């Protein structure tokens, strides 16, 4: 063990710091001043957050409209799987591209590529960095947006909520439209068959009893399918929202980034620690010499 190692204690450290205090002080002051100047030049970003809950997709079931006995079985809110579905739709590239077009973000992010599609894609990627999607323990989805303009940040977050709702409802609507199309096609086929049976009965067919039975059966099927078609149309016109807005995004009162005070405090302690380490290293080198 060397004499330096045996004599290197708190007292000697304090002596070194006392000796180098001026240099450490200037390092701390300079670092904090440089950090403050940098923060002054950085743009201010406002944060707005919307909070939504998934709605129960079973509420879209047409049986919920016509069967009074089962309405109480449906919960208003969805499950974790429904929340994951909302998150997946929100995080689609198409969602960011729609927002890019809606708020003219190509100009905001100053993408100067010659190709317009590339400009749009770059702006959408930049927007994705400025939006934070988070699933909470309360089965909520928070949508946070940062922007240099407080009103724009709130508008983008609320617009994303709108797009999520519309896309989710559209997927259910497409299913109902396809089902209604199939039912209407069945009705058309059944009406043609019924008309043929009616023509056969009119010309005095030998199997009049069988024709009458088939006609009655077809009429019942047509009636049932027409009722089903009506129910599908009503369900499409009265679809509930796909999500529940717990909190709409509102403009921030003050910038959220950069965090000036915390950054300056961090710069102070980091520069102070760095100055102490440098002072001790320089003192060791001079001692060894």
Tens of pLDDT, residues 98-119: 999 999 999 898 877 678 888 8
Asked if residue 6 has pLDDT above 50, the reply is no
Q: What span, in angstroms and rounded, lies between the C-alpha atoms of 160 and 96? A: 8
Question: Do residues 90 and 164 lie in contact, with contact meaning Cβ atoms separated by under 8 Å?
Answer: yes
Asked if residue 1 has pLDDT above 50, the reply is no
Domain for residue 232, yes or no?
yes
Phi, psi of 100 (to 5 degrees): -60, -45
What pLDDT is attached to residue 159? 95
Lowest mean pLDDT among 30-34, 48-52, 82-86, 207-211: 207-211
Give the pLDDT band of residue 127 (cuts 50, 70, 90).
very high
Domain for residue 280, yes or no?
no
What pLDDT is attached to residue 142? 95
Q: What span, in angstroms and rounded, lies between the C-alpha atoms of 14 and 141? A: 52
CATH number of the domain that 230 lies in?
3.30.1890
Give the pLDDT band of residue 259 (cuts 50, 70, 90).
confident
Domain for residue 5, yes or no?
no
Lowest mean pLDDT among 31-35, 36-40, 170-174, 268-272: 170-174
Give the pLDDT band of residue 79 (cuts 50, 70, 90).
confident
Asked if residue 71 has pLDDT above 70, the reply is no
Domain for residue 23, yes or no?
no
Average the pLDDT over 230-250 and give the result: 82
State the average pLDDT for the chain: 83
Domain count, the chain: 1
Structural domain harbouring 199: 44-262
Asked if residue 255 has pLDDT above 50, the reply is yes
Average the pLDDT over 29-51 and give the result: 90
What pLDDT is attached to residue 281? 82
Domain for residue 16, yes or no?
no
What pLDDT is attached to residue 52? 94
Domain for residue 267, yes or no?
no
Asked if residue 254 has pLDDT above 50, the reply is yes
Average the pLDDT over 121-146 and give the result: 93
Domain for residue 118, yes or no?
yes
Domain for residue 169, yes or no?
yes
Asked if residue 154 has pLDDT above 90, the reply is yes
């Amino acid at each position: 063990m060397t004499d330096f190692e045996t004599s290197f204690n708190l007292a000697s450290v304090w002596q070194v710091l006392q000796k180098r205090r001026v240099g450490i002080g200037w390092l701390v002051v300079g670092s904090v001043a440089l950090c403050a100047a940098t923060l002054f030049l950085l743009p201010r970003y406002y944060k707005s957050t919307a909070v939504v809950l998934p709605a129960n997709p079973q509420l879209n079931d047409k049986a919920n409209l016509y069967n009074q006995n089962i309405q109480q079985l449906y919960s208003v809110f969805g499950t974790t799987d429904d929340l994951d579905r909302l998150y997946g739709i929100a995080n689609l590239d198409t969602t960011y591209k729609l927002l890019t077009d809606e708020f003219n973000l190509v100009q905001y992010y100053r993408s100067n590529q010659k190709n317009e599609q590339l400009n749009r894609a770059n702006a959408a990627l930049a927007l994705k960095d400025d939006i934070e999607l988070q699933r909470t323990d309360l089965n909520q989805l928070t949508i946070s947006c940062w922007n240099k303009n407080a009103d724009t940040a709130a508008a983008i977050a609320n617009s994303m909520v709108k797009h999520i709702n519309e896309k989710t409802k559209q997927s259910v609507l497409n299913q109902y439209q396809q089902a209604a199309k199939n039912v209407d096609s069945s009705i058309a086929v059944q009406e043609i068959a019924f008309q043929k049976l009616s023509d056969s009965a009119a010309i005095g067919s030998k199997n009049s009893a069988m024709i009458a039975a088939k006609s009655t059966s077809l009429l019942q099927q047509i009636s049932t399918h027409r009722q089903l078609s009506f129910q599908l149309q009503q369900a499409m016109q009265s679809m509930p929202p796909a999500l529940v807005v717990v909190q709409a995004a509102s403009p921030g009162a003050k910038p959220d980034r950069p965090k000036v005070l915390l950054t300056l405090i961090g710069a102070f302690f980091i520069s102070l620690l760095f100055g102490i380490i440098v002072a001790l290293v320089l003192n060791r080198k001079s001692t060894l010499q």
